[in-house]
Amino acid sequence: MRLQHSRIARALTAFAAVTIAMPPSLPVTAGPAMEKLFLIMKAKGTLSQEEYDMLVAASREEDKEREKALAAAPAPAPAAPGAAPAASTTALEKRLAQTESKVGHLESALTHKSGDPVLEKRLSQTENKVDNLENAISTTRGQIEDISKITDNTSPSTMSAAELDSLLADKWYERLKMKGYLQVRADSVIHEDGGQLNIQNDPFANDQSSIGVRRGRLAFSGDLTNHVYLYFQADLFGGVNGNGGVQARDYYADVSLDPAREHRVRMGLSKVPYGYATMQSSQNRLALERPEAISTAVEGERDFGVYYMYAPYEIRERFKNLVKMGLRGSGDYGMLTFGAYSGQGINRPDTNGQPHWIARATYPFEFDNGQFLEIGIQGYAGKFNTTTAPIPGVGTPVNGNGGNRGFTDARVAISGVLFPQPFGIETEWNWGKGPVLSNDLKTISTASLSGGYVQANYRHVFANQRELIPFVRWQTYNGGRKFAPNAPRDKVNEVGVGFRFIPYPELELTAMFMHGMRANTNVAPYGNVNYDYLGVQAQVNF
């Protein structure tokens, strides 16, 4: 009944307002104007068909009475020049009385109709529709706010996964987020003896470089659906030998096999799950470059592959938190992982028709005092085809194993990381076999290899949330560098000390001094070089 009387009141008010406001000089337009108003109200659902017919009939009857009254009235006398127009108070009072009388008749008629059960039912249905519309508007407004928060990554959605999937089913691009970092590096070779310094992972580590962009990474990632996650990363300065150029660093999809996403399959170009140092992002690593003992297994850290990964939900969250908490974890690459990859290196096709097989197991322990310790073991096996190049005075090395299916390439490694809270220690060691150039530089064959590193660090967080992380690292390696032409023997024995200072979350400053001995694996006869090297770096995160 509340909605019914409200509707009656709105109709009567509109009728009265239009009638009173109509100029006396244009009385004949009142009927069409009122009918148009009633038609609009009916179209908007304010009036039913019955109410509309009743009001139109009343309006037309009133128009007829008005026309009769105007016909019987004498014509007004012309006004004298300069005289003010006579006041029409009497006419207005008469019109007001007529309008009040008409409103009374309409109200009486509508009230009489109020007992109609059909009208009562229609009014009740309309009231329910209005209530539903208000609820829908309120819900939609909340969903719009949720979607806004999701797209700008300010907070998690309060909607269920099914609701979110429904809202964004045809807008997968709304799920993607962009991030990246920039590393600007300067270096100085303070001393070198025995030849030119060459560090395989660092194109700036020579006496001809001074300053430049070491990495310019840009990444897009997000859940395309509840079952598919996409990650793409490009390096805008990832050219060969330090030359500028765009290079794909990652392009893979994770396909979840269960709703909790504990079981998934990763396919595409991604990091090979071997070694903690390989998994850890260069954005989080303290030292300027990765240790050679581990990086010689997969230079560039990436390859084309397919992997099955498993980790319970709480372990996946722990992997993520080790990064979010500023402890510089390796990220989530599964607790148990196995699969196959090309084996020939980043953005290189397979050349022998035999993939490398790999398996990895790692577990991040969390103790009662809040300390984290991650221990892992991993290994791979396959065949690797080396490239060859002429050596001045010697010629091109030959394959000492015979055949063209590649050299045995197999390793196993153990990893242990006590995260800095505030003291931390990180160590890895690996052993195996791989291609290596003979001492006379004439033959390439399979030989043993070994090496590893130990790194200690201390994390101090100031009251204003600035961070200072001093660290020291020792690394050693003795084995072939399979990704270099002719697979020369790589010998490394180095000590490095440095620190990372973080004045703001988006800016990190690093300085590292290195002293040691290593082979120059880029230029024959691949002699050993003693060196002192200083590198400084500014990193911008976004």
Tens of pLDDT, residue by residue over 35-73, are 666 666 666 566 667 666 777 777 777 667 666 766 665
What CATH architecture applies to the domain 176-541?
A: Beta Barrel (2.40)
Structure confidence at residue 203 as a pLDDT band (50, 70, 90): confident
3-state secondary structure of 371: coil
Return the percentage of the chain with pLDDT > 70, whole number: 69
Between 514 and 102, residue with greater pLDDT: 514
**Whole-Å CA distances, 448 to 163, 214, 411:** 56, 32, 10
Residue 197's Cβ-count burial label (10 Å; 0-12, 13-18, 19+) is buried
Asked if 35 and 21 touch (Cβ cutoff 8 Å), the reply is no
Asked if 442 and 397 touch (Cβ cutoff 8 Å), the reply is yes
pLDDT for residue 305 is more than 90:
yes
Domain ranges of the chain: 2-74+89-114, 176-541
Structure confidence at residue 226 as a pLDDT band (50, 70, 90): confident
The predicted model scores a pTM of 0.69
Looking at residue 140, what is its pLDDT? 58
C-alpha–C-alpha distance, residues 470 and 532, integer Å: 19
Pseudo-torsion of CA 122, 124, 129, 130, nearest 10°? 120
pLDDT for residue 414 is more than 80:
yes
pLDDT for residue 276 is more than 50:
yes
Query: What mean pLDDT, rounded, does the chain reach?
Result: 83
Instruction: For residue 142, count other CB atoms closer than 10 A to its CB.
Output: 12
Residues 6+ apart with CB under 8 A from 157: 146, 147, 149, 150, 164
Looking at residue 86, what is its pLDDT? 45
pLDDT for residue 425 is more than 90:
yes
pLDDT for residue 448 is more than 50:
yes
Pick from 99, 70, 86: nearest CA to 12: 99
Pick from 6, 18, 25, 35: nearest CA to 99: 18
Asked if 305 and 250 touch (Cβ cutoff 8 Å), the reply is no
Bond before 273 cis per omega within 30 degrees: no
